Structure 1
Amino acid sequence: MAGDQAGKTAFIGVGVMGETILAGLLRSGRPVGDFIVGVRRQERGDELATKYGVTVLPNLDAAASADTVVLGMKPQDLAGALQEIAPVLRPGQLLVSLAAGITTAFIETHVPGGVAVVRVMPNTPALVDEGMHALSAGSHCDEAHLVEAEGLLGATGKVVRIAEKLQNAATAVSGSGPAYIFYVVEAMIDAGVMLGLPRPLATELAVQTLYGSATMLRETQQHPTILREQVTSPGGTTAAALRYLEDHKVKAAFLSAMEACRDRAQQLAADS
């Protein structure tokens, strides 16, 4: 069966991130026939088939029919999914795991020997093709497997290879990072309203400020400290605001929050 489906990619556990990557690949021009979706619930399969035109199969058949399998379920559901599809997996087949905190070693103990595993920490800006994907190779990955994984993920953003020991740190920075940014923008909008701005105007001001600032960081390649100093006149309004943030230890709070995120990722692995 696998020989008849050479080159195909199966998506199993098509949650938000799995669907995001599938949709991005289709937007990039990849033929819909390159992809299979594995489901447990027929209603979800019908929804995806209608939305994208993809072939939908039970999980076991989808895994058997593909050279690459993208695992997009929640971390706590991964072991059960691996147990379900392990009987049809084969050496050389590529598994791309999107499950936060779950190590390649854990996955390798649940699949036949020789199956290549790539662990990925994606993030939600992949929804607009501006994702940040950090990937790490398992013990059976070769360069071709990594290139294949990069090709899949690159349809929705930037991809970097990192040592697996850095994955939990990447989770704290980029995986969960969008939530921190949205939290700050939410606070800026609320502050604008408190200061008398209509909410739509406060939103437009904050969102465009975020977009412009991020664009400056990427295009100028300047250190954020330099860009911050360019905005901060001695004794000016920005300096007054930044002093207040320093007095309230906002930077220290971010450091502690990101440590907590890393620690939770480690705990997910320990609990799996």
Structure 2
Amino acid sequence: MAELNTIRTATGTRTAQIDAGLRAHMNKVYGTMSVGMIITALAAWAIAGLAVTTDPSAAAAQLPNGKLLSGLGAAIYLSPLRWVVMLAPLAFILFGWGTLLRRGSAAAVQLGFFAFAALIGISLSSIFLVFTSFSIVQTFLVTAIAFAGLSLYGYTTKKDISGWGSFLIMGVIGLLVAMVINMFLGSPVMMLAISAIGVLIFAGLTAFYTQEIKNTYVAHAAHGDQDWLDKAAYDGALSLYISFLNMFQFLLMFMGQQE
């Protein structure tokens, strides 16, 4: 009986340790993601400010809404450099992030995430030239509320939603194909449909990734590999960051008011 009580006590202590560790892990995930969002917002705001000018003699180009672009703005938004700005974050995810996770230290992975957030900020800076600041802030707040609810669901639900993963990833691929096609068609109706589907897909991915982050931690916590757990937190932060960002962009298509 004494041995049984000892086993129960040890099991309860171990469960409590895992629960405490999980809370700390999730706080790190959300904290890292939040810092990434701040970096993205600051980078976007700074580049957008440098990209415009009020001096007609210094303007390199003019947008349809009347805003004057500086030399930097014309280079980023109108020259072939815009493709580098647009594709650099994607290239980093496809070719750099996995290698960094495998070979880099936890500090290097964290730095890589923040560098990625800055790249995203540069590529997103044009929204400040197209949409009003009020609509951007409004959409961000709506996205934040929706994200919080979806992530909470993914964390607390007892239902196994791991099966959503493959279905949602296929949806993302289909979404990318549709977006490429619409680049040539230029259909506003198709763009609205893409935006609506995009919001639903990344809403689902938010819940899916949250549960996956939680389950991954619980499955590996017993090994005590803190370096791996640190890198896993940054990887989870990246997944949730991308889901939030895509929800924000697709919602901006609906809620954004153009200048």
- Give the TM-score normalised by structure 1: 0.26
- Give the TM-score normalised by structure 2: 0.27
Higher-strand-fraction structure? 1
Higher-helix-fraction structure? 2
